[in-house]
Amino acid sequence: MTKALRMMEEEAKIVDAIIYVLDARAPFSCVNPSFCDFLGEKPIVYVINKADIADEEKVRLWQKFFTKKNSIAIIMNSTKTGAAKTIEKAILSLKTKKVDKFSEKGITVNLRAMVIGVPNSGKSTLVNNLCGKKRAITGNKPGVTKGKQWVKIASGLEVLDTPGTLWPSFDDQRIARNLAYINSIKDDIYDKNELALCLLEDLQKINENILTNRYGIEKKSTSIETLDAIATKKNLVIKGGEKDYDRTCGMILDDFRKGRLGKITLEVPRG
């Protein structure tokens, strides 16, 4: 584990709650199981982010899945204003130990939360949204890494203004692929063209109309044929008239990542 991650674990220990940002297109793949073990009983607000480009029905199933004894899940589009109120409500609904202990004595407490998530899940966007113009610093707190700042987002609630980036977990090939589709894993780890072919296959399984709707192609029986049809339809050719499969694959991945293929969620909770 890198030094940065160890520091993040240390910070996670001292906060009252965790704001765990997940990409709504692959919420399960965004969870790192070993980091969850480490969080133990810590209250967690799962933010199912990018809901605006995900499948509404599946997102609701994931919301149920992530809402447990010590956690709550909220559906979010971090690019829209107003996230602070939703997060505040969610955190306060989780009875943190601190609130319990002090409210008995009639004392209001300041809760501190930390935003974490895999790369590209929207952590910075969310933090910017939460902080808004209030990025004015509330001061360093003892025990926290020097240079990190806490920002008050509501009365009695502060967030660490530097989100923690979780290392993605590659235990399962399927999870690794999902993370690559949503751009959480560097493109150079995967062969882009192979990844695009896998994505075509997965999308076809989710809904046969996704590709025909976007690219105006007929349904094909293999992902290679689908790729070929898309290249033809989009007139993506190189010198000599050969199909430009590299560009076609890049375009397909980009279209998915930008939500241009429609509102898609790749995973459904099991059971």
Minimum Å gap between C-beta 39 and ligand GDP is 18
Minimum Å gap between C-beta 100 and ligand GDP is 31
- In the bound state with ligand GDP, the residue whose beta carbon lies nearer, of 163 and 168, is 163
As a whole number of angstroms, the distance between CA 157 and CA 111 comes to 5
Binding residues among 146-185 for ligand GDP as defined by CB under 6 A: 163
- In the bound state with ligand GDP, the residue whose beta carbon lies nearer, of 77 and 223, is 77
Single residue of 29, 32, 49, 169 touching ligand GDP by CB under 6 A = 49
- In the bound state with ligand GDP, the residue whose beta carbon lies nearer, of 119 and 250, is 119
- In the bound state with ligand GDP, the residue whose beta carbon lies nearer, of 70 and 79, is 79
The residue range among 31-39, 50-58, 205-213, 233-241 that interacts with ligand GDP, by the rule CB under 6 A, is 50-58
Binding residues among 51-110 for ligand GDP as defined by CB under 6 A: 52-53, 77-79
The β-bridge partners of 114 are 18
As a whole number of angstroms, the distance between CA 72 and CA 92 comes to 11
Q: Is the torsion defined by CA of 133, 52, 212, 208 positive or negative? A: positive
Binding residues among 109-148 for ligand GDP as defined by CB under 6 A: 117, 119-125
- In the bound state with ligand GDP, the residue whose beta carbon lies nearer, of 50 and 177, is 50
Query: Does position 25 bind ligand GDP by CB under 6 A?
Result: no
Minimum Å gap between C-beta 246 and ligand GDP is 23
Size of the site for ligand GDP (CB under 6 A): 17
- In the bound state with ligand GDP, the residue whose beta carbon lies nearer, of 125 and 169, is 125
Binding footprint of ligand GDP on the chain (CB under 6 A): 49-50, 52-53, 77-79, 117, 119-125, 163, 259
